[in-house]
Chains A and B, each alone.
Chain A
Amino acid sequence: MIKLRNIDRYIDKRLQRNFILKGIDLDIEEGDFVSIMGPSGAGKSTLLNIIGFLDDANEGEYYFLDEPVHSLNERQKSEYHRSYIGFVFQAYHLIDELTVYENIEMPLLYRKVKGSQRKSMVADMLDRFNIVAKKDLFPNQLSGGQQQLVGVARALIGSPKLILADEPTGNLHSDQSKEIMETFKKLNKEDGVTIIQVTHSDEMASYGDRVINLQDGAVTENNPYEEE
């Protein structure tokens, strides 16, 4: 599903080039549940952003579903982005001015889904995460875990093939974290959604079936497909 070849991401300062990512080669198959781990500043989030089309690599090739992302234009990227990828953030990033219902609905609006269909899709999602009663509340009226559930619901509403989660449980206490990770695991097993998460915690990583360690912008271990 995802094929990265010799990906470089760097920032040019006056005299020197600072590499954030260097020579990344990575393959991820559909249905994987991957955890990216590593110390702060290793380039975990940058890698996730590149995979999620939010950032561009300076060098190298990136194939998403065998489509060369590095040569897609903005519009095409946006198209893929909408249809295949959902994001979950550490800080939830719900829009404060919108209710739970409206936050979940938003991706559908950008996808120009019809009103009645939108209604049933959002209702489904509220049902699935047991937050029907909270649909008219605003984000600041919810607890952190509830907000993250809304965040996951929002990421899922477009039935993405890939969920990218940047420390989804970083702001949550353990019970809430478990609930979110169980949700991910279920999605992965039952619906075959590919999940890539960035995490610091081994416990959270253990929900997945593969770990990628990053150190100073390079993959250092545990990439089974590379070895084959």
Chain B
Amino acid sequence: MFKNYIKIAFRNLLKNKSQTVINVGGLTLGIICAIVIFLIIQFDLSFDKWHEDPDRIYRVVRHETEFGKSVYYRGGPYPLAEAVRNDVTGIEYSTLVFNNLANEPIISYYDNGNLVKKLKESDFAFVDPDYFNILTYTWLSGNPETAIKNPNTAVVTQSFALKLFGTTDVLGKSVVFNGGTAADIEITGVVKDMPENSDFPFTFIGANSTMDRNGETAENPSWGSNSSSMQTYVKLEPGFSEEQINEQLEALIVKYRNEEVAAELDLFLQPLSEIHFDSRFSNYNGRVIEKSMLLALGIIGLFLLIAACINFINLNTAIAVSRSKEVGLRKTLGGTKSQLMLHFFGETAFITLIALVLGVGLSEIVLQNISPVLGFSPEMNLLSNVELQLFIVSIFLLVTLLAGWYPAQYLSNFNPIEAIRNKIQSNYGRGLTLRRGLIVVQFTITQVLIICTLIMASQIRYFQNQDLGFEKEAVVQVPIQNENMPILNVFKSSLLNKTTIQNVSFSNTGTTNNSVWGGNYIMIEDSIRHENSGQVKFIDENFIDTYGLTLLAGTNIQPSDTVNAYIVNQSFAKEVGYGDNLSGLIGKTTSMWGTEAPIVGVVKDFNTQSLHEGLAPVLLAPRKSFFLSAVKINTARTKEALGDIERAFNTAFPDLVFEYSFLDESIESMYEDEQRTAKIMNAFTLIAIIIGSLGLFGLVSYMSTTRTKEIGVRKVLGANLLDILKLFGTELALLTGISFVIAAPISWYLMRNWLEEFAYKIELGIGIFLLALSGILLISVLTIGYKSLRAALSNPIESLKSE
């Protein structure tokens, strides 16, 4: 019996080739999206799940109230980890993880007694021995209990060992870790690399005591100083709750600081399972994804699958008419309704199966090429991924049921007599038929995606064209780690000698940086005390010229090793009441980090962070705290200029590794997340459009064949080309209009929430919505244009002859 179903299904597929392609093609696209999205979600949900007792692992995070604002930080004070270990009951293990990303260290190794400069390594951490009792590593060599008990020891990963030494047999070898650790560090263990779905991608894990002994943490020894580069991780003893620990953490603040501080500062536990998803805190992987984003992704996947099913339903009910004879016959030959339903379900299942096989195969190809867009690469592992297998089976059942139920029901309900006599007409009647409803659903999905994509694109373009208050073109930024002024000056003057270089400036963070230095500024005038949080930039006298800042009042700073003057920005002036009287601010004194100095100039506001953030008061001051050099080059000779910079750098800093980036590119990279989202959305929108167009094309080509006779009669009776085109077009325009009315408010709501994240955002004007509407109309017209035009141009004699 079933064999018979499959046989006839297969012959039907071959007979209606174009419909088969549309059905299978649309379903395949939908299935690819569903599988890829499933794997992305599965990947993100799997982060750090495999550690032993993951539900007992936590990070200690910090919440502060600053000038009435709630702020969350992932870092804490340096002594916290040890205090937690000693003073809090219920803690099994506790470790500090020190990882200062501001200056990437250079790791060198000995080759026959000679030191070889080798590589920059940002994935490093210095930790307490308990670290390896909290997170689970697979040890290839070394003893987990004792590996980093002593100072000047480190555990490295397999890939690190291979990269540096070309072998994993590296126990006892020594490396030099620049950045304050004079002594050689001995490798005492090799572990397997963390898998890609971990937020702890460290490749070099050193003993924290190394840092102690070398005084690296000497500048942050106190409870009063917090840094995101000092995080505390703990593992609770079984049976202790988060609340029990949080209470004791609060008591710690009182014990080591005072009641006053405790009132504004909370320390609390963040579960390991939240580290990948809580966007209030960053992680070492650099990618935090809110669970709501994953949900949104899942919904998009489901909608694309539904859109593909809708094609299937619409096309199959339309074709049903031409199969009515078969249905009638089968009924007169003794087929019951349930047998017929089973038959049609069988056909749907068969098509779904084909689409599924294609979809799974193509997903594998998509996955192999998707990582540049995603930034990570989920894997399929079809044979071992049980969840995926279950998912594929559920797709099969869901699609078969969604796409098959209605056509099966519809077809098997035919009255056999009418069916045999071909009296069943395509129910192309008036009113809200199911088919029209489904098309509206499909168009709505497509339009929501189109509108969202357009809004994202214009927001990103807005970012790119926004005046940042400085010139971002032709500036090359080179990280430097040297505070020796004579050497810096040699570097600077050797650059300024070159005709390719226009200007050179040193500063802590440049104009715009993810790393923000800040504190509270205090300005007292006529016994009114202005105090608020502000940002500070340590600059040299070339900073304003190199970055093209605009000096609105006063003068530039003079060269100086210590803070002896401040330049402030407009926002600062506004906050202290001089918004309209910038020159009045010149000569007033203010202080930051305890250093009081006169204000000598005011610059136009410039964006110090990505445009997610608004403007802030900024103080610029001379001080030799330089981590970044900015070189303004002659753009006509970019290549030559880069060569000059590299040569000058290598001469001045033989121990450092030369790296550079263009300012405009590093600013661009601040919107990587948005661009990634936009790219993914582009892809989904394109797929939604393709699925929708396929369905429309199938329907129109079917309509044009079934209505050939009607068109012939109409033409004989005097209808012109336009009248015939109207026949096809009016309804489509109406359906597009209805779905637009539904889609516009939905996407407006969604995108308003998305735009909330940005301090600088576009207005949601009507223009973008109209653009989307005309876009989908154009696509529809192109889709149905050919078929309906051909139908309208056909010779009526041809179409009427057959009768």
Please say whether chains A and B are actual partners in one complex: yes
List the B side residues contacting A97 at CB < 8 Å: 8, 11-12, 15, 326
- CA A114 to CA B625, docked complex, whole Å: 91
- B787 CB-CB contact with A under 8 Å: no
A145 interface residue, CB < 8 Å from B?
A: no
**Min distance, Cβ B342 to any Cβ of chain A, angstroms:** 11
A95 and B334: CB pair below 8 A?
Answer: no
Give the interface segment out of A49-57, A58-66, A207-215: A49-57
Chain B residue nearest to A112 in the complex (CB): B1
- Bound-state Cα–Cα, A142 to B417, Å: 25
B417 touches A93 (CB 8 A): no
Stretch at the interface among A19-27, A101-109, A184-192, A193-201: A101-109
* Chain B 648-680: CB-based contact to A (< 8 A → 1; otherwise 0): 000000000000000000000000000000000
* Inter-subunit contact B329/A54 (CB<8 Å): no
Contact present for A55 and B417 (CB under 8 Å): yes
* B647 on the A face (CB < 8 A): no
Cβ-defined contact, B325 with A82, below 8 A? no
Q: Does A78 touch B at the CB level, under 8 Å? A: yes
**From A53, which residue of chain B is reached at the shortest CB distance?**
B332
Contact flags (1/0) for A3-37 with B, using CB distance below 8 Å? 00000000000000000000000000000000000
| Chain A neighbourhood of B328, CB < 8 A | 93
CA separation between A76 and B417, bound complex, in Å? 19
Minimum CB–CB distance from A82 to chain B (whole Å) comes to: 4
Task: Assess whether B339 is interfacial by the CB under 8 Å rule.
Answer: yes
Given A49-B417, A55-B417, A93-B325, residue A158 in contact with residue B334 (CB < 8 A): yes
User: Once the chains are docked, how many angstroms separate the CA of A93 from the CA of B337?
Assistant: 19
* Complex alpha-carbon distance, A78 and B337, angstroms: 10
Q: Does residue B330 face the partner (Cβ distance < 8 Å to A)?
A: yes
Q: Contact string, A85-127, partner B, CB cutoff 8 A, digits 1/0? A: 0010100010101100010011101111000000000000000
Check: B420 CB closer than 8 A to any chain A CB: yes
Contacts of A55 in B (CB 8 A): 417
The residues in B between 315 and 363 inclusive whose CB is less than 8 angstroms from any CB of A are: 325-326, 328-337, 339
Say whether B420 contacts A89, CB under 8 Å. Answer: yes
Question: Judging by beta carbons under 8 Å apart, are A75 and B329 in contact?
Answer: no
B416 within 8 A of partner (CB): yes
- Please measure, in the bound complex, the distance between the C-alpha atom of A82 and the C-alpha atom of B334, giving whole angstroms: 5
A97 to B240 alpha-carbon distance, docked (Å): 71
Tell yes or no: A203 within 8 A of B by CB.
Answer: no
Within 287-334 of B, Cβ neighbours of A (below 8 Å) are at 325-326, 328-334
Q: Could you give, for residues 1-14 of chain B, a 1 whenever the CB lies within 8 Å of some chain A CB and a 0 otherwise?
A: 10010011001100
Partner of A87, one of B4, B7, B15, B332: B332
Are A109 and B4 in contact, CB atoms less than 8 angstroms apart? yes
Does any Cβ of B come within 8 Å of A202's Cβ? Answer: no
**Main SS of the interface on chain B?**
helix
Q: Please state if A111 and B420 are interface contacts (CB–CB under 8 Å).
A: no
The residues of B that contact A74 with a CB separation of less than 8 Å are 336-337
Chain A residues with Cβ below 8 Å from B329 are: 93, 95
A44 at the interface (CB under 8 A from B): no
CA separation between A89 and B329, bound complex, in Å?
10
Query: Are the C-beta atoms of A98 and B8 separated by less than 8 Å?
Result: yes
Residues of the B chain whose Cβ atoms lie less than 8 Å from the Cβ of A111: 334
Shortest CB-to-CB span from A91 to chain B, Å, is 8
Q: How far is the CA of A55 from the CA of B334 in the complex (A)?
A: 14
CB-defined contacts of A78 to chain B, threshold 8 Å: 334, 336
Q: Is A70 on the interface with B (CB-CB < 8 A)?
A: no
B332 in contact with A110 (CB, 8 Å):
no
Task: Give bound CA distance, A6 to B325, whole Å.
Answer: 31
- Does A54 contact B8, Cβ atoms closer than 8 Å? no
In the complex, which of the residues A54, A81, A102 contacts B4, with contact meaning CB atoms closer than 8 Å? A102
Closest to A107 in B: B333
Chain A residues within an 8 Å CB radius of B331: 54
User: Is the beta-carbon distance between B334 and A93 smaller than 8 angstroms?
Assistant: no
Are A110 and B7 in contact, CB atoms less than 8 angstroms apart?
no
The docked-state distance in angstroms from the alpha carbon of A107 to that of B339 is 12
A102 touches B333 (CB 8 A): no
Provide the bound-state CA to CA distance between A183 and B451, in Å.
Answer: 70
Chain B CB count within 10 A is highest, among A87, A98, A110, A112, for A110
**A89 (CB) vs chain B CBs: closest residue:** B420
Task: Evaluate contact between B334 and A110: CB separation under 8 angstroms.
Answer: yes
Contact with A along B449-478 (1 / 0, CB 8 A): 000000000000000000000000000000
A158 to B8, CA, bound (A): 21
Tell me how far the C-beta of B14 lies from the nearest C-beta in chain A, rounded to whole angstroms: 9
Contacts of A87 in B (CB 8 A): 332-333
Residues from chain B with a CB closer than 8 A to the CB of A112 are: 1
Nearest CB of chain B from residue A89's CB, rounded to whole Å: 7
Smallest CB separation, B167 vs chain A (Å): 66
**Cβ of B339 and Cβ of A52 under 8 Å apart?**
no
In the assembled complex, the Cα of A135 lies from the Cα of B575 at a distance in Å of 95
Q: Are the CB atoms of B416 and A106 closer together than 8 Å? A: no
CB proximity to B under 8 Å, residues A144-162: 154, 158
Interchain CA distance A97-B11 in the complex, whole Å: 6
A215 to chain B, nearest CB (A): 22
A107 surroundings in chain B (CB, below 8 A): 333-334
Determine the distance from Cα of A74 to Cα of B337 in the docked complex, in whole angstroms: 9
Assembly CA distance A93 to B8 (angstroms): 16
Q: Are B336 and A75 in contact (CB under 8 A)?
A: yes
Please, how many angstroms separate the alpha-carbon atoms of A49 and B333 in the complex? 13
B15 lies within 8 A of A52 (CB) = no
Top-8 shortest CB links A-B: A82-B334, A97-B11, A110-B334, A107-B333, A78-B336, A110-B335, A87-B332, A93-B329
B: residues with CB less than 8 A from A are: 1, 4, 7-8, 11-12, 15, 325-326, 328-337, 339, 416-417, 420
| 26 CB < 8 A contacts A-B | A49-B417, A52-B332, A54-B331, A54-B416, A55-B417, A74-B336, A78-B336, A81-B334, A82-B334, A89-B420, A93-B329, A93-B420, A95-B326, A95-B329, A97-B8, A97-B11, A97-B12, A97-B326, A98-B7, A102-B7, A107-B333, A109-B1, A109-B4, A110-B330, A110-B335, A110-B339
> Contacts A107-B334, A154-B333 given; 14 further ones with Cβ under 8 A?
A54-B416, A55-B417, A78-B334, A82-B334, A87-B333, A89-B420, A93-B329, A97-B11, A97-B12, A98-B8, A102-B4, A110-B333, A110-B334, A110-B336
Interface residue ranges, A against B (CB under 8 Å)? 49, 52, 54-55, 74-75, 78, 81-82, 87, 89, 93, 95, 97-98, 102, 105-107, 109-112, 154, 158
